[in-house]
Amino acid sequence: MLPYATLHDAETALNRSLTAAETLWFNYSADKSDYFLYCHNILFLFLVFSVFPLSYLLLEFLSRNVRAYKIQPKVNLSYSETFKCYGDVMRMFILVLIGVRTSLPLPSIWEVVAQLAVYFMVEDFGNYWIHRFLHCKWGYEKIHKVHHEYTAPIGFAAPYAHWAEVLILGIPSFCGPAIAPGHMITFWLWIGLRQIEAIETHSGYDFPWSPTKYIPFYGGADYHDYHHYVGGQSQSNFASVFTYCDYIYGTDKGYRYQKKLLRQ
């Protein structure tokens, strides 16, 4: 709950006028407890994982023209299989509360950008090694094979995994905010961007007009689809978002060799 009774009190404490965004946040959050605000996180995750995968689902079922961009066009899931995946994922979500800031002032654009950069780098490095561990014999057989049930992934399957994997791979996602704590708005933006990226990566479509094509070292759907296509034997393409760890540690050689053969 904000420690200010009125807008005037907030402006006096900050020694300046509130921005439009800060005024909006004050009007919404001033009389709400921190716990109530934290509960928005799970609602935010449900919204992201309902709306964004649905766009790929509609493309698949309503338009045949986009099938030219489908990475594994011979694999087609039924409505029941698709929504079973969605239901399993929704049941798997748990509420995680961390000590993010909810008060004024709101962070500046540059503060948000800097913190997001830290979050992505920390998550990417940690996720790479945990994901690589999950492809050892024990990790795969006991935990990770659930996620690889979808050899041709769909957007809803991005968080589809064994409950232990959800917990383990969630650690790198929260390490960044723990190392460089920010405002809840930054946290929502981080969770939103990270999960939208995961949905896009698991979408099964490689659109040439995607803006992510212009992000250096970004993996994308085609890159991660190869990992699912190879399956349990895969020792390639462990990257979460960016591909630099795979390149540095040589775990993208199979993918690059396949691409070389396709070009020839």
Nearest to 144 by CA among 241, 46, 71, 234: 234
Asked whether the predicted pLDDT for residue 99 surpasses 60, the reply is no
Radius of gyration of the chain (CA): 20
Which pLDDT does position 120 carry in this prediction? Answer: 92
Which pLDDT does position 97 carry in this prediction? Answer: 44
Asked whether the predicted pLDDT for residue 151 surpasses 60, the reply is yes
The DSSP output letter for 107 is: P
Which pLDDT does position 125 carry in this prediction? Answer: 92
Place 91 in a pLDDT band, splitting at 50, 70 and 90: low
* pLDDT tens-digit readout, 182-221: 888 888 888 888 888 888 888 888 888 888 888 888 888 8
Asked whether the predicted pLDDT for residue 1 surpasses 60, the reply is no
**Structure-model confidence comparison of residues 241 and 50, the more confident one:** 241
Which pLDDT does position 155 carry in this prediction? Answer: 80
What is d(CA 109, CA 258) in angstroms, rounded to the nearest whole number? 41
Mean pLDDT of all residues in 145-165: 84
Contact 45, 196 (CB under 8 A): no
Contact 35, 65 (CB under 8 A): no
Contact 158, 196 (CB under 8 A): no
What is the residue whose two structure tokens read 């605000």? 37
Nearest to 52 by CA among 189, 202, 161, 166: 202
What is d(CA 91, CA 194) in angstroms, rounded to the nearest whole number? 20
Which pLDDT does position 95 carry in this prediction? Answer: 40
* pLDDT tens-digit readout, 23-70: 887 777 777 766 566 666 667 767 777 777 777 777 766 666 777 777
What is d(CA 211, CA 130) in angstroms, rounded to the nearest whole number? 28
Within the chain, residue ranges assigned H as helices are: 7-14, 20-29, 34-38, 40-62, 79-92, 109-133, 137-142, 163-179, 184-201, 220-230, 244-248, 253-263
Which pLDDT does position 105 carry in this prediction? Answer: 79
**Structure-model confidence comparison of residues 133 and 27, the more confident one:** 133
